[in-house]
Structures are given as C-alpha cells and as structure tokens.
C-alpha cells in the first residue's frame, strides 16, 4: 500500500488496516517458519505496510 493511499484513509480505517496488516504479517511469518515462502519479499512488504500505517496513525495523534 502506498503512502498516498494511506493518507486518504480515516483514523478508523487506519486502525482497521493496521490490525489486518499485522495479522497478515504474522500469518506470513508463521508460514515462512514452517516451510519457505515462494517469494520471501512478501515479508518485507507486509512489515513495511504495518510500519507505514502505524506511522500515519502516530502522526495524526500528535497533530
């Protein structure tokens, strides 16, 4: 998910997206632990998406 897309979401949508992204990242990590993923770059993309959404939420809380 791109930063421009994240900026357009409301706070409630960001919180929902954050929980979905964290769950997706955890599932990918577990799947990779059991047997290697075909595309391990998915882990990096998921982790960065979680970070982007969390950063945007923190930025809006500060303002």
6-62 pLDDT, tens digit per residue, is: 999 999 999 999 999 999 999 999 999 999 999 999 999 999 999 999 999 999 999
Alpha carbon distance 14, 57 (integer Å):
7
Q: Considering the entire predicted model, what is its pTM?
A: 0.90
Q: If 0-12 CB within 10 Å is exposed, 13-18 middle and 19+ buried, where does residue 61 land?
A: exposed
| Residue 42 near residue 28, CB atoms below 8 Å | yes
């Amino acid at each position: 998910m791109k930063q421009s897309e994240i900026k357009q979401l409301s706070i409630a949508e960001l919180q929902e997206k954050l929980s979905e992204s964290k769950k997706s990242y955890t599932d990918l990590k577990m799947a990779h632990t059991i047997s290697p993923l075909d595309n391990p770059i998915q882990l990096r993309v998921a982790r960065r998406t979680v970070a982007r959404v969390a950063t945007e939420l923190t930025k809006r809380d500060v303002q």
